[in-house]
Amino acid sequence: MIPKTFKEVIDLGDGREISIETGKLAKQAHGSVVVQSGKCMLLCTVVSNYQQSDVDFLPLTVDYREKFAAAGRYPGGFFKREARPSDGEVLTMRLVDRVLRPLFPKDYHAETQVMIQLMSHDEEVMPDAMAGLAASAAIQLSDFPFECPISEVRVGRVNGEFIINPSRKQLEESDIDMVIGASADSVMMVEGEMNEISEEEMTEAIKAAHEAIKVQCAAQVRLAEAFGKKATREYEPEREDADLEKKVRDLVYDKVYEVAKAGSAKHERSAAFQQIKEEVTATFSEEELEDFGSLVSKYFYKAEKAAVRDLTLNEGLRLDGRKTTEIRPIWCEVDYLPSVHGSSIFTRGETQALATVTLGTSREANQIDMPSFEGEEKFYLHYNFPPFSTGEARPIRGTSRREVGHGNLAQRALKGMVPADCPYTVRVVSEVLESNGSSSMATVCAGTMALMDAGVQLKKPVSGIAMGLISDGESGKYAVLSDILGDEDHLGDMDFKVTGTADGITACQMDIKVKGLSYEILVKALKQAREGRLHILEKLTDTIAEPREDVKEYAPKMVTTRIANEYIGALIGPGGKVIQELQKETNTTIVINEDPVTEEGIVEILGTGQEGINAVLAKIDSITFKPVVGNSYKVKVIKMLDFGAVVEYLDAPGNEVLLHVSELAWERTENVSDVVNMGDVFEVKYFGIDSRTKKEKVSRKALLEKPEGYKERAPRSDNKDRGSRDNNRGGRDNRNRDRRRD
């Protein structure tokens, strides 16, 4: 018997719907829902242990996986099963995690898992846009202590109209691709890319998305009420001691305020804060520390945060002595690494990124193989964040989710400025060598300069800046901070990163921690960010004003040409023999792709030497050479025969044709060598296919003047010849008849 199900339907306003259903699948989970739009179905389950973990944070795991069976496909690789998550899945996990995590109580430390699976795929639906809705809906059906329902939507804009959760096809025409996460009251997360839009346009897109999210949050509330809203579970809260908190604050606040006001460097400041903490700790006995030592640490950091925030709100000063709008000192350099295709260093304060660019053929494109999307990227960026960049020693366990997310943000910031006709596959790698605030934005700046250094013809240079916000809800005071430090990232109410050209925003990432942030403050913050971006952009263009006209001497040159489909096989040769030998002889890399529309062959030639590239082009010209009837061509004799000479077109080596003895000269020629010899070069006229021999016909004599008194020889009488042959044949036939009579 199929169990009773509960369902809510959300109208997207253009004929599309999203349904949320529960009661049929995964009933042992603490909450489970199936979210469906078209044929796309996501199953989300949530479970949280009833025992608190022995940690001082929420051990929340958000896992998003796309099952290949959902698209009727097999996983790639030797083992035909889903393995480690792809970068696309990791990015979706991060989008959901960043909205859910702040809504759990700060003292809730039970291990919690949110698992979202794509069970059925629809080409017209992008599943990642519904992952946040699925996660929140499942939590609403559980007994977790969770503040309020949230949702996430993607917003695009086509022909000036905002579209909620556009299809991939619609997104290709859109100048905005943003995912917004919010509750019914507050926007909490924004991430996306844009085509140089203004701050006001970005705000309007966020507003449109928020209106759709309000409808989705209301649907979750209705579903939970219909299903039967569970009482929130009880858990053991963190220990609190108001008297101890006041004591620690009194000991700490003024000292921290003075250190923060001194405007020192990161390590000097950290050492000073640590000394204050040790002094405070020393005021307690060993027995007291054993009893409530963890509370002392907790209240110390709370007082530290309050002091630093108050310094900024009261005096407009920051930890390193800057004013709120001030950017740290910047120095840049290009062409730092002698053997790479492009390189740059970008240093801003205590953050430094070294970027490299590598140029390749389409063979080096980044292949994306997900159930919801198959394709390739000809421009991609990788971001590495080693422990030494923050002066730490910690285990290295492969690429972290943070590295994937930061690299994706920088890639989205730059990719729109790479021309569509760029012949190369371009890989940018950012090595973060120092970090104290926004290494992802340093990556954007270093990436811009490295691309220009490599000779990639960027449409416009791109810069990026990380901004912060500190606000006091009671007094209404707030401060927008330009170019935030790592410490300011942790203690602020909003962390937002904005990238763009001089003409508009290309990408953004925001995490908003304060409720009910007004759009007026958001626009002000974005405009202050623009001022900072332009200041940084000026530093970049002072270092390298525009892309190099060509790639470097030791970097590969790329030439792309097209050939008719019928010649692809000839260029490749049997078993790849022709193309392999050609690559070896010319020291080039040759890649052939077929245009899916015209079915032409797109030939990419990559080589460091122009001579080698020219040799490949000459070979292609030779293979695809087609003489035109009536035109004259220079040829060279390469073989002597009794009945003519084999000649080769000089413009197309390897293309041979027979020059018959009768076409050598107007005079009768007894011996071919009387007129031409091996190696002779002369011109011939092309007549096309001879109707009699069905072979190509060329003539030398057609380009010579007829001798005086020249008389055409009378043609042979074909009728006479045929008659003779017929008479002979008749005689043989008569003899055969005579034999039969005998």
Annotated binding site: 489, 495
Q: Say how many C-beta atoms besides its own lie within 10 A of residue 648's C-beta.
A: 19
Nearest C-alpha neighbor of 218 from the set 514, 5, 11 = 11
CA distance 41 to 22: 13
Residue 217 backbone class (left: φ over 0; alpha: ψ -120 to 50; beta: rest): alpha
The residues pairing with 441 across neighbouring beta strands, listed in sequence order, are none
The residues pairing with 481 across neighbouring beta strands, listed in sequence order, are 468
Annotated binding site for Mg(2+): 489, 495
Residue type, 168: R
Instruction: Please state the φ and ψ torsions of residue 600, each to the nearest 5 degrees.
Output: -75, 160
Would you list the DSSP string of 398-424?
SS-HHHHHHHHHHHHHHHTTS-TT--S
Angle CA 395–302–283, to nearest 5: 95
- Residue 151 near residue 165, CB atoms below 8 Å: no
CA distance 97 to 135: 10
End-to-end CA distance of the chain: 100
- Residue 491 near residue 309, CB atoms below 8 Å: yes
Environment class of residue 357 by beta-carbon count within 10 Å: exposed (0-12), middle (13-18) or buried (19+)? buried
Chain-centre distance for alpha carbon 594 = 23
CA distance 734 to 738: 6
> For residue 398, what are the CA distances in angstroms to 403, 404, 683?
10, 11, 66
Instruction: Please state the φ and ψ torsions of residue 456, each to the nearest 5 degrees.
Output: -75, 125
